[in-house]
Amino acid sequence: MDLERLLANALALQAIPSPTFEERERALEFRARLLGSGWGPVLLDPAGNVLGRLGDARAPAVVVCAHLDSVFSRLEHRPARRIQDSLYGPGIGDNALGLAVLLELASDLRASPPAVCIWLAATVAEEGLGNLQGMYALVESLRSQACAYIVVEGMTLGHVYHRGLPARRLRISLRTSGGHSWTHAGRPSAVDGIVRLATRLIQLPLPSRPRTTLNLGRIEGGTAINAIAAHASLEVDLRSEDEKVVAGLESAVLHHAQAQAGPEVQVDCAAIGSRPGGGLPASHPLVAAAVASLKAQGVEKVQLGAGSTDASAPLSLGIPAVCLGVTSGSMAHSQEETVEVPPIRRGYAAVLATVIEAARLARAGLL
């Protein structure tokens, strides 16, 4: 591994805005860099994923992937910067660094190729309302060949995500007749209704075991400061380690939303996203390989758990998958997202070792 090359690739890829559903520019740059490493063939699939293959396409395959998209819009994006031993900038850890790891793997695996087929994949639509569309398309196209998926994220070194984290996303919309704030005072306001609903939702009791979260991600609505709001909406993200718990929480949210309806208030509830559960037992050979690879790099406290990552797609279909982080960091999904440079060597070595062991297991028919 060439650390300076890896960091240069991460910063160059992060500098290209790549909101969910607008990943093409970054995808093309990633494809050019992957081709430049001598890896081939490299193609763009119909979903927009970048796919590069090493080895016989008829052989059992291990797929290593990282997502192209960021949670930030083009207006919110700004280039990352390096200050001493840290990289700072929106999306640098989630997931420009993961993409740079794929490019470094391309060089190392090409120099010493495993005796199976290796696919490197940069996927689209992992974040937000992308609902893992790119990953599902990838899994479908490689279903007859792929034995295992290793998903790379820039942050969370020491974590092995071997279970999908069930999630539901809802958009709740209220509509009224609206009117003038003085002339029609007393008419129901859609903004008032959404605020009342939000207040009720944040008061819902959430269990600590299994871990469960409710996030009010966006509120929109209204026309003007002196107009009674005729429309307003609220987007809610629900997650739990238990599928039944997240389903029950969704029912509670919908109940409170419908309670806002009345003769002059229309309520519409739409499902705008869903993340699946599913997973591997901790004893599975792929999980064991990931844990052993991290411990060999001096990561003593390896944490197993559930995550909402691209790995959720193959796991939900019964296909072995794990997600590994490359380094430690902080402030994910914020303008001050930060990753630390020194641990990258260990994280990269663990990813590479996991890929090599997964290839051995695939060749032996153990996946």
pLDDT at 170 over 80: yes
Q: Comparing 111 with 92, which gets the higher pLDDT?
A: 92
pLDDT at 180 over 90: yes
pLDDT at 41 over 90: no
Do both 118 and 52 map to the same domain?
yes
Give me the pLDDT at residue 46, please: 97
Do both 159 and 185 map to the same domain?
no
Do both 73 and 134 map to the same domain?
yes
Do both 125 and 228 map to the same domain?
no
Do both 76 and 115 map to the same domain?
yes
**Mean pLDDT computed over 117-132:** 95
Mean pLDDT of the residues in the chain:
96
Last residue of a domain, one of 253, 275, 297: 275
Q: How confident is the model at residue 139 (pLDDT cuts 50, 70, 90)?
A: very high
Give me the pLDDT at residue 362, please: 95
Do both 308 and 336 map to the same domain?
yes
pLDDT at 61 over 90: yes
Give every CB contact of residue 345 below 8 A, 6+ residues apart in sequence.
Answer: 1, 3
Q: How confident is the model at residue 75 (pLDDT cuts 50, 70, 90)?
A: very high
**Mean pLDDT computed over 27-36:** 97
Last residue of a domain, one of 245, 275, 305: 275
Q: How confident is the model at residue 56 (pLDDT cuts 50, 70, 90)?
A: confident
**Mean pLDDT computed over 328-339:** 94
Last residue of a domain, one of 275, 307, 336: 275
Do both 243 and 304 map to the same domain?
no
Give me the pLDDT at residue 128, please: 87
Do both 184 and 233 map to the same domain?
yes
Q: How confident is the model at residue 58 (pLDDT cuts 50, 70, 90)?
A: confident
Give me the pLDDT at residue 279, please: 94
Domain containing 234 equals 167-275
pLDDT digits (tens, 9 = 90+) for 148-162: 999 999 999 999 999
What single string gives the DSSP state of each residue in 88-143? Answer: ESTTIIIIIHHHHHHHHHHHHHHHS--SSEEEEEEES--SGGGTTHHHHHHHHHTT
> What CATH number is given to the structural domain containing 269?
3.30.70.360
Do both 56 and 126 map to the same domain?
yes
Give me the pLDDT at residue 39, please: 86
Give me the pLDDT at residue 57, please: 84
Going by their DSSP bridges, the two strands 321-325 and 146-153 should be labelled as parallel
**Mean pLDDT computed over 107-133:** 93
> What CATH number is given to the structural domain containing 121?
3.40.630.10
- The answer to whether the predicted template modeling score (pTM) of the entire model surpasses 0.75 is yes
What is the total count of domains within the chain?
2
Rounded CA separation 348/157 (Å):
10
Do both 177 and 301 map to the same domain?
no
pLDDT at 253 over 90: yes
Rounded CA separation 249/246 (Å):
5
Do both 239 and 195 map to the same domain?
yes
Q: Provide the β-strand partners of residue 240.
A: 212
HSE-CB for 73 with a 13 A CA cutoff: 2
Q: How confident is the model at residue 345 (pLDDT cuts 50, 70, 90)?
A: very high
pLDDT at 40 over 80: no
**Mean pLDDT computed over 337-366:** 96
**Mean pLDDT computed over 1-15:** 97
Do both 197 and 302 map to the same domain?
no
3-state secondary structure (DSSP) of residue 9: helix
pLDDT digits (tens, 9 = 90+) for 261-301: 999 999 999 999 998 889 999 999 999 999 999 999 999 89
